[in-house]
Every structure is written in structure tokens, then in C-alpha cells.
């Protein structure tokens, strides 16, 4: 559609309001980048603000400033109170991160999907649509809350909450990775981190069946059944892929898995955890060990395959295209969340994007280097060391003396890098959504049970053999 048919200047002269023009792809991409930067800083600010306030500022105020205002305050009591407040810091971080993050993710998906499909996406509410999710949430809040006749009232009201709660709980081990195990966030560092995440992620499946059954609607029931079948069948390849990574890293502790990938891109688990340079052995015929090169090639190929399998399985777990038949708008009248209106629907929606965030986060930790910068180990260690004991002396004022001394700011780098990597994985998930059509239920189940599970089982075996050879 060129402007050969009409002369735009001539047409624009007919009416003062006429403005015949069209946007360009470059302008839209630029606006998207600005919008994302704005929102990512808001998300990071909210989460970091909550963490910093509860872990550092409030304990300091309770310990040092409060006794000046309350006469008979026992110092040990103030200590206990500040300890409790500090202990709440991870919870508050999650509570501030999840809603703000979901707001950004919904908007980012719509804008990025529009960019990939030659459209513009929402751009009327706020700058380039920045407040769109806020407007959507407000609209859903004002909608009438309908419980269908014959629906099981208790289960109907409980299922959105039960779907949303595990999404927030599984954030816990990821916080320690993001915050570089600093301060109170070391308590969030679970040795069974990966298994914790898997366990709580499985809780969401139950609420899908609850939602479908309690709606008193045969289409919702079908959607709920399909959703739970899909969830349990794709959990298995996900767990088996994770098992291989646990074998490679030697621990189920997320912080440990992340730390094994320090030292640049070559150390990432997707590239074989540092065995990529061994591929030179395939070509150097004199002082090379061909068998070592071959096994390294096999190992790296398997790591890439593991990444793809894990990505596929987690996309299926969070009910995302191409695996979103349970909630497909055109197939099943929105599946299991047909009868949910207003805030209940908003909770399902929010929880879905939060699940996707967690799935991307786990993929980043397991395969893409966790929270470490893509620079070599020495520089990163010295950078973090330099920032782990910062004293800002010129901002010390009066009663706040001693507040800004010996701060550990190394978490700034790791959390920003972690967040950016997670959003990059999220963009890849949107990219996949823009490309692939939906899988039918039987195609879905066949793919999961007949292809992915035997494949991952075989991969565990071969990875174990490769590791034994390479480490010997």
C-alpha cells in the first residue's frame, strides 16, 4: 500500500484535523525500547526499594532512632523487632515485585508481539501505552463478580487464590541468586532450591482442575482436565532435564548452580559449562586428544538439547502458545477460566505471567549463567569485592550518622543482570508465540510422552558417561 494513489499533502489540506501519515518500524522499535527501559527500572526500583527498606533502613531506624522517641525501650527488644522486620524483607520484595512485574510483562508481551506482527499494540493509555495494564486491572476490579448457579462456591472462590499463591512462593530461592546471597537474603538460599521450586509449581495444577470442576460448565471442565493432563505430562521432561543439570553442577542449590557458571559466556551451562574450548582437540591432530574432543562435542550438543527440552517443557507447564489449548480463546471459549469474572480472572491472568517469569528465571539460572556478568571471573570477582564494602561519607547527616557505612552493594549488579536475562528469555518466549501455531491435545500428549521423556532419560545416561570421561 504505497501512497501512489493519493498525494498526502493535498489530502491533508482538506480538513484541519487531517493528518495522513503512518508510523515506521524504527520509530515503533525505539518507542518500545524506551517503554521497556522505563518499566524495567520501575520494576527493579519497586523490588529493590522494598528489599532495601525492610532489610536495612527500617532495622537501622528501629535500633538507633526509635529509642530516642520512646523512653523506656529495651535495646534487646528493639533488636528483636528489627530482626523480625529484616526477616520480612524477602517476603516484601516478592510482594512488591510480583504485581509490578506482571504489569510490565503483560504490556511488554502485547507491544513486542505487535512489533513482530507488523502492528502497533496499545499506545493510547499513557506514554506509548505504559499504563495499559493498570487500566486493565482497574477495569477488571470494577466488573461484577458472578458465581454461576450450581457452581461450588468454596472451590470456585478458592481456585484463583490457589493458582496465584504458589507463583509467589517459588520466588524465594531465586531471590538469593539475584541478591548475590547478601545479608538477609542468605536465608532464602535453600540447598534444595530446585526441588522446592518444582514442588510448589506442581501445586498450581490442582487449582486448574478445581477451577474447571467448580465452574459447573462442561467446557471449563474439559479445559481443566486438559490443562492438568498437560501439566503433569510436561513436568517429567522438565524434572529430568533439571536432573542432568544437577548432575553437571553437583548441587540443587540455585546459588551453587549459578556460581558454577562464573567467568564469561563459555562457562554457561548451555555451552557445556566450560568444555567448549575442548573442541579444538577435534582439529589439532598432533597434541590433541581426538576422543576428548569428540566427547566434548557430544556433551555440548546434549547441553543445547537439554536447554531446548527444558524450554519446551516449561513453556508447556505455564500453558503458553504453542501449548495453550486449555485456555485457547478460539477453541474452548477460554477453557477453564471461562466463568471467572473480575478480580478472579485478573488473578489467573497475573499468575500465568508470574509463572512464565519464574520459568524464565529458572531457565536462566540453570543454563544462561544465572546472575553473573558475561565477563571473566577475575574482573567480576574484583568488581563485586569492590562494591561489597562501600561507605558513602558525604551523605551522612546528623542523626543518620553511621547509616551509610560498610554497605554491601554487590547485589545491584547481580540483580540487574539477572532481571535483564530473564526478560531476554521472556522475549524469546514471545517470539515463539508469534511464530508457532497451537498444538492439538493429542499432538501435545504424544510429543510429551513418546518423544521428550525417553529422550531426557537417555540424555541423563549419556551426560553421566560424558562427565565421567571429561572429569577424569
Could you give the 3-state DSSP secondary structure of residue 147?
coil
Of residues 395 through 434, those in contact with other proteins by CB under 8 A are 431-432, 434
Stretch that binds other proteins, among 14-22, 50-58, 148-156, 358-366 (CB under 8 A): 14-22
For the bound state, the minimum distance from the C-beta of residue 1 to other proteins, rounded and expressed in Å, comes to: 7
For the bound state, the minimum distance from the C-beta of residue 121 to other proteins, rounded and expressed in Å, comes to: 8
Residue with Cβ nearer other proteins (399 or 443): 443
Among 16, 19, 76, 329, binds other proteins (CB under 8 A): 19
Choose among 229, 91, 167, 99: nearest CA to 362: 167
295 vs 303: CA distance, rounded Å: 12
Please return the burial class of 346, using the count of CB atoms within 10 Å of its CB with bins 0-12, 13-18 and 19+: buried
State yes or no: residue 68 binds other proteins (CB under 8 A): no
Cell for 328?
485457547
Residue-wise DSSP of 403-440: TTSSB--HHHHHHHHHHHHHHHHHHHHHHHHHHPPPPP
For the bound state, the minimum distance from the C-beta of residue 439 to other proteins, rounded and expressed in Å, comes to: 12
For the bound state, the minimum distance from the C-beta of residue 325 to other proteins, rounded and expressed in Å, comes to: 18
State yes or no: residue 123 binds other proteins (CB under 8 A): yes
Among 69, 71, 74, 117, binds other proteins (CB under 8 A): 117
- How many residues sit close enough to other proteins to count as binding (CB under 8 A)? 37
Q: Per the omega criterion (within 30 degrees of 0), is the bond before 177 cis? A: no
Query: Angle 89-116/75-87 helices, nearest 10 degrees?
Result: 20
State yes or no: residue 376 binds other proteins (CB under 8 A): no
Contacts of 269 (CB under 8 A, 6+ apart): 245, 248, 249, 257, 260, 261, 303, 307, 366, 367, 368, 369
Residue with Cβ nearer other proteins (385 or 451): 451
State yes or no: residue 15 binds other proteins (CB under 8 A): yes
Among 16, 70, 76, 118, binds other proteins (CB under 8 A): 118
Among 33, 34, 381, 436, binds other proteins (CB under 8 A): 436
For the bound state, the minimum distance from the C-beta of residue 10 to other proteins, rounded and expressed in Å, comes to: 6
Please return the burial class of 139, using the count of CB atoms within 10 Å of its CB with bins 0-12, 13-18 and 19+: exposed
Contacts of 277 (CB under 8 A, 6+ apart): 266
Cell for 301?
550438543
How far, rounded to the nearest angstrom, does the alpha carbon of residue 393 sit from its chain's CA centroid?
Answer: 37
Among 55, 103, 114, 168, binds other proteins (CB under 8 A): 114
For the bound state, the minimum distance from the C-beta of residue 446 to other proteins, rounded and expressed in Å, comes to: 12
Stretch that binds other proteins, among 40-48, 116-124, 209-217, 438-446 (CB under 8 A): 116-124
DSSP one-letter code for 289: -
459 vs 4: CA distance, rounded Å: 59
Among 40, 52, 95, 120, binds other proteins (CB under 8 A): 120
Residue with Cβ nearer other proteins (116 or 169): 116
362 vs 200: CA distance, rounded Å: 13
Residue with Cβ nearer other proteins (192 or 428): 428
Of residues 326 through 365, those in contact with other proteins by CB under 8 A are none
Residue with Cβ nearer other proteins (323 or 418): 323
Among 17, 149, 218, 406, binds other proteins (CB under 8 A): 17
3 phi/psi in degrees, rounded to 5 = -95, 30
Among 16, 21, 71, 144, binds other proteins (CB under 8 A): 21
Residue with Cβ nearer other proteins (125 or 403): 125
Binding mask 283-322 for other proteins (x = CB under 8 A): -------------------------x--------------
Stretch that binds other proteins, among 8-16, 101-109, 187-195, 383-391 (CB under 8 A): 8-16
Cell for 462?
549419556
193 vs 242: CA distance, rounded Å: 12
For the bound state, the minimum distance from the C-beta of residue 135 to other proteins, rounded and expressed in Å, comes to: 17
Among 33, 80, 84, 119, binds other proteins (CB under 8 A): 119
State yes or no: residue 218 binds other proteins (CB under 8 A): no
365 vs 313: CA distance, rounded Å: 16
Contact 73, 66 (CB under 8 A): yes
Length of the chain: 472
232-251 burial: b if 16+ Cβ within 10 Å, else e: ebbbbbbbbbbbbbbebbee
State yes or no: residue 34 binds other proteins (CB under 8 A): no
Place of cell 471461562: 338
For the bound state, the minimum distance from the C-beta of residue 242 to other proteins, rounded and expressed in Å, comes to: 21
Contacting positions for other proteins (CB under 8 A): 1, 3, 5-8, 10-11, 13-15, 17-25, 28-29, 114-120, 123, 308, 431-432, 434-436, 451
Amino acid at each position: 500500500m504505497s501512497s501512489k494513489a493519493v498525494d498526502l499533502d493535498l489530502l491533508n489540506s482538506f480538513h484541519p484535523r487531517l493528518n495522513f501519515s503512518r508510523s515506521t518500524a524504527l520509530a515503533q522499535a525505539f518507542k518500545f525500547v524506551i517503554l521497556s527501559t522505563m518499566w524495567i527500572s520501575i520494576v527493579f526500583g519497586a523490588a529493590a526499594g522494598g528489599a532495601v527498606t525492610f532489610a536495612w533502613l527500617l532495622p537501622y531506624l528501629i535500633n538507633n532512632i526509635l529509642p530516642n522517641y520512646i523512653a523506656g525501650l529495651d535495646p534487646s527488644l528493639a533488636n528483636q523487632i528489627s530482626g523480625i522486620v529484616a526477616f520480612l524483607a524477602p517476603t516484601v520484595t516478592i510482594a512488591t515485585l510480583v504485581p509490578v512485574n506482571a504489569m510490565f510483562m503483560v504490556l511488554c508481551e502485547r507491544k513486542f508481539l505487535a512489533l513482530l506482527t507488523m502492528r502497533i499494540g496499545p499506545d493510547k493509555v499513557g506514554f506509548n501505552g505504559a499504563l495499559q495494564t493498570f487500566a486493565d486491572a482497574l477495569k477488571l476490579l470494577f466488573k461484577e463478580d458472578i458465581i454461576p448457579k450450581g457452581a461450588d462456591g468454596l472451590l470456585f472462590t478458592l481456585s484463583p487464590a490457589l493458582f496465584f499463591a504458589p507463583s509467589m512462593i517459588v520466588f524465594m530461592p531465586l531471590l538469593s541468586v539475584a541478591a548475590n546471597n547478601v545479608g538477609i537474603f542468605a536465608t532464602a538460599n535453600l540447598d534444595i532450591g530446585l526441588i522446592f521450586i518444582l514442588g510448589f509449581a506442581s501445586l498450581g495444577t490442582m487449582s486448574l482442575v478445581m477451577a474447571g470442576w467448580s465452574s459447573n460448565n462442561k467446557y471449563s471442565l474439559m479445559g481443566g482436565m486438559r490443562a492438568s493432563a498437560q501439566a503433569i505430562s510436561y513436568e517429567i521432561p522438565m524434572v529430568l532435564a533439571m536432573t542432568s543439570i544437577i548432575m553437571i553442577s553437583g548441587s540443587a542449590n540455585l546459588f551453587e548452580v549459578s556460581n558454577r557458571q562464573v567467568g564469561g559466556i563459555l562457562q554457561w551451562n548451555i555451552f557445556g559449562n566450560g568444555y567448549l574450548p575442548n573442541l579444538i582437540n577435534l582439529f589439532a591432530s598432533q597434541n590433541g586428544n581426538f576422543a576428548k574432543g569428540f566427547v566434548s562435542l557430544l556433551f555440548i550438543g546434549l547441553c543445547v538439547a537439554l536447554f531446548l527440552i527444558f524450554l519446551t517443557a516449561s513453556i508447556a507447564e505455564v500453558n503458553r502458545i504453542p501449548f495453550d489449548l486449555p485456555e485457547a480463546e478460539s477453541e474452548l471459549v477460554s477453557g477453564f477460566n471461562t466463568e471467572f469474572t473480575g478480580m478472579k480472572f485478573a488473578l489467573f491472568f497475573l499468575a500465568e505471567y508470574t509463572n512464565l517469569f519464574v520459568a524464565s528465571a529458572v531457565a536462566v539460572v540453570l543454563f544462561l549463567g544465572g546472575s553473573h556478568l558475561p565477563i571473566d571471573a577475575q574482573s567480576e570477582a574484583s568488581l563485586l569485592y569492590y562494591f561489597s564494602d562501600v561507605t558513602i561519607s558525604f551523605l551522612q547527616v546528623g542523626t543518620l550518622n553511621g547509616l551509610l557505612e560498610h554497605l554491601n552493594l554487590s547485589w545491584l549488579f547481580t540483580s540487574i543482570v539477572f532481571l535483564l536475562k530473564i526478560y531476554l528469555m521472556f522475549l524469546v518466549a514471545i517470539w515463539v508465540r508469534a511464530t508457532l501455531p497451537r498444538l492439538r491435545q493429542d499432538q501435545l500428549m504424544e510429543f510429551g510422552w513418546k518423544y521428550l521423556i525417553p529422550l531426557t532419560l537417555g540424555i541423563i545416561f549419556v551426560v553421566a558417561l560424558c562427565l565421567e570421561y571429561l572429569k577424569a
